Chains A and B, each alone.
Chain A
Amino acid sequence: MHVVKKIEIIANSFELAKILDSLDKSGVHSHAVIRNVAGKGLRGTTEDLDMTMLDNVYILAFCMPEQLKPVVENIKPLLNKFGGTCYVSDVMEIRSVRCVASM
């Protein structure tokens, strides 16, 4: 087990492509996206585009601690411009060294 950074972003689906692109540029190439996220106040703004073609998304990504600085540098301008929130926390990754599937 080793420490990695967990990045959680809640934003509007309209900014999804830009956010994923920024993560990619920062060296974070894997992510999970959960669509149609409902809630209140977690996007850093009271305004929610409650419309038929736009929904809120939850983006989950992990990176090594040394990768975090470029992630913050690339994501921050997007959040400042469009709203949305980003949380970073320390988590433990369990990495299998003898994964049957890869043998």
Chain B
Amino acid sequence: MDISLIVSNILNPPILFFFLGMTAVFVKSDLEIPAPMPKLFSLYLLFAIGFKGGVELIKSGVTQEVVLTLAAAMMMACVVPIYTFFILKWKLDTYDAAAIAATYGSISAVTFITASAFLTELGIAFDGYMVAALALMESPAIIVGLILVNIFTNDGKREFSWPEVLQEAFLNSSVFLLVGSLLIGVLTGEHGWKVLEPFTQGLFYGVLTFFLLDMGLVAARRIKDLQKTGVFLILFAILIPILNAGIGLAIAKFIGMPRGDSLLFAVLCASASYIAVPAAMRMTVPEANPSLYVSTALAVTFPFNIIVGIPLYLYGINLFWR
């Protein structure tokens, strides 16, 4: 594998600031981002990426390629939790297996945004409608996870408040803002983009960098929880993204996606949710241990994907897309 890809990825300011955040925790610095700020950054990133995606979507139009890509995204969001659940069932109980499976079936918007930044850095084009795939992949895993709990728990059928579950799955703040911004981008098009460009484009990388600094702090704090998860889950959190990305790349190749879109699709398949799904699982499957599903997603899979995963998947694309 071309090490220069990893090096050029690591030498990006957002990734270096992620390391800086982790370092701050390891050396016991008192660096702390005031609590409401990361939430604001997170909402800004969803708003900006959603809006940009909507503008790009109206430019490209709804073609057969778009429909195929979105269908593949939905399929992966439903299938990934099923096979990961059975892998996890070897070592874990149904509740933990289902919660982790749902976490890995869903996506991480920040990993996607980091991959977009990486592609922009390398000058590789990608289509804006991939944001629609991002929005579509956030929620189905929650539903699949709950269905798995329903089927495999021994205490009979659990009673979920399905309206509440569906509301949390499809109307949680991140999905709502992302889809809403996407629709506003579609409605306002190029004119809207010009009006908001200083905010949605000019500030974007600065906010992403600051957000990753905070993510570094949070991920490093979560590392101590990995003592509870054991070697199996740590290995799972590294190997399952590679497997999911591999399947994603095979589908992308089959559909005929261009290189940039293929990388984003692979990253969506490989990433794990640490915002929407943990919140939904907490509400619907309180028996599952958050130390397991939050720590693996946030302290192992997220850093792995943004540091090694993204260049690794691009290396795979460069091998097979010739």
Which residues of A are at the interface with B, using a C-beta cutoff of 8 A? 12, 14, 35-36, 38, 47, 49-55, 81-83
Instruction: Supply 22 A–B pairs (Cβ within 8 Å), ascending by A.
Output: A12-B282, A14-B283, A38-B35, A49-B279, A49-B282, A49-B294, A50-B218, A50-B221, A50-B222, A50-B294, A52-B38, A52-B211, A52-B218, A52-B275, A53-B39, A53-B173, A53-B275, A54-B278, A54-B279, A82-B282, A82-B283, A82-B286
Q: Contact string, B273-308, partner A, CB cutoff 8 A, digits 1/0?
A: 011101100110010011100100010000000000
Within the complex, the shortest CB–CB distance from B215 to chain A, in Å, comes to 8
Cβ-based interface call for B261 (8 A): no
Contact status B279-A53, CB under 8 Å: yes
Which residues of chain B are within 8 angstroms of A82 by Cβ–Cβ distance? Answer: 282-283, 286
Chain A CB within 8 A of B214 CB: yes
Contact (Cβ within 8 A) B282 A14:
yes
- CB pair B282 A53 closer than 8 Å: no
Q: Choose one: B42, B283, B286, B291; the contact of A52 (CB below 8 Å).
A: B42
> Do A49 and B39 touch (CB < 8 A)?
no
- Smallest CB gap from B110: residue in A: A52
Given A50-B218, A50-B221, A53-B276, 13 further pairs, Cβ under 8 A: A14-B283, A47-B291, A49-B279, A49-B294, A50-B294, A51-B274, A51-B278, A52-B41, A52-B42, A52-B215, A52-B218, A53-B173, A83-B286
Contact-size category for B: 20 to 34
Q: Give chain A residues whose Cβ lies under 8 Å from the Cβ of B215.
A: 52
Is there contact, CB below 8 Å, between A53 and B42? Answer: yes
Q: What residues on B are CB-neighbors of A38 within 8 Å?
A: 35
Residues in B lying within 8 Å of A, measured CB to CB: 35-36, 38-39, 41-42, 173-174, 211, 214-215, 218, 221-222, 274-276, 278-279, 282-283, 286, 289-291, 294, 298
The answer for the CA separation of A4 and B274 in the assembled complex, in Å, is 41
Closest to B222 in A: A50
Say which residue of A35, A47, A55, A81 sits within 8 Å of B290 (CB atoms).
Answer: A47
Given contacts A12-B282, A14-B279, A81-B286, contact A51 B294 (CB under 8 A): yes
